[in-house]
Structure 1
Amino acid sequence: MPQPLVDEISKFFDDYNRTFAERDGAAISMFYFVPSVSMRGDGSTHCFQSREELVAFFQEVSDRYEREGASGARFLDLAVQPIGGRSVLATLEWQNTRSDGSVVRKWRQSYNLIRPDDRWQIFVSTFHVE
């Protein structure tokens, strides 16, 4: 795996995580391509046809994480696999954390990232459901 690509994708998720911590659905939505698809941990599938749908959805997700006691998050075990010249499959473990660093919830998730122009965007996200 080319290290520059891994570093680039790791930075993407660092930026995504930092933005998610700001609890701003509009800012979070900018990491997603329109249209995009997300399969959540409960097995539900969401197809986003507009930026406004993404904003509303991720504002609710962010608010829910906060209600659950999460003050931040971290990701671990990032694996990156190129699947073309402008797309990758990235898999990682997310951990939502409390202010003391303890884990509120954790899960594995995979992302199909595409680069339609000068930046990476999430096209499909898939929770690894049990």
Structure 2
Amino acid sequence: MPHEVTAIFESYRDAFNALDGRAVAELYAEPSGIAQDGVYTHWSSRASVEQNMTALCQLYQKRGFVRATFEPGQFLDQGPNHAVADLLWRIEWTGEQAPWQFNTSYNLLRTGDGWRVLLCTAYTEAALFSPTKHSAA
């Protein structure tokens, strides 16, 4: 994965580690979207991304979020302005909660502000939110 692409995910990780939904949203293109659990959600504005990411950060905080880390996976260069990156995420929690590990892929778009997420595909995350998975939630 090229350094400039890894750098956007380092910023993404850092924004989540600060539980700053607005900073996460700034790394998304406008418009953008998420595919999760067989459903596509279109975000027509950065404000709608920010609302979603802020809610996710609040959920993480309530669950005892400590930090997120990632390992770069597959990378598909699609010319000078497009790419697809797959990451293995690990989220650590307080107490005796087991860390979450899941993969997410990102369709990226190069903008005047650099690489931005055009589409996030959360394809192994659904099971993490199962109430039986984390009784401490």
Q: TM-score range by the shorter chain?
A: 0.7 to 0.9
In the TM superposition, residue 22 of structure 1 has moved relative to its aligned partner by: 1.3
Alignment: residue pair count:
124
* Superposition deviation, residue 79 in structure 1: 2.2
Aligned to 1:20, which of 5, 13, 16? 16
Residue of structure 1 in register with 2:90 after alignment: 95
In 2 relative to 1, CA 30–120 (structure 1 residues): closer, same or farther, beyond 3 Å?
same
For 2:98 and 2:108, how far apart are their aligned partners in 1?
A: 26
RMSD of Structure 2 on Structure 1 (CA): 2.0
Distance 1:65 1:95 in 2: 13
Q: Is the 8 A contact 1:96 1:103 kept in 2?
A: no
**8 Å Cα contact 1:9/1:80 also seen in 2:** no
In 2, Cα distance between equivalents of 1:115 and 1:51: 16
2:73 equivalent in structure 1: 78
Per-residue deviation at 1:64?
1.1
| Amino acid across the alignment from 1:57 | N
Task: Tell me, in whole angstroms, the C-alpha distance in 2 between the residues paired with 1:36 and 1:124.
Answer: 6
Percent sequence identity is 24
Question: Structure 2: which 5+ residue stretches go unaligned?
Answer: 127-137
- TM-score, reference length from structure 1: 0.84
Q: Does the 8 A contact of 1:113 with 1:121 survive in 2? A: yes
For 2:34 and 2:92, the matched residues in 1 are separated by: 22
Q: 5+ residue gaps in structure 1?
A: none
1:103 to 1:16, Cα distance in 2 relative to 1, 3 A: farther
Q: Is the 8 A contact 1:10 1:78 kept in 2?
A: no
Measured after TM superposition, the shift of residue 103 of structure 1 is: 4.6
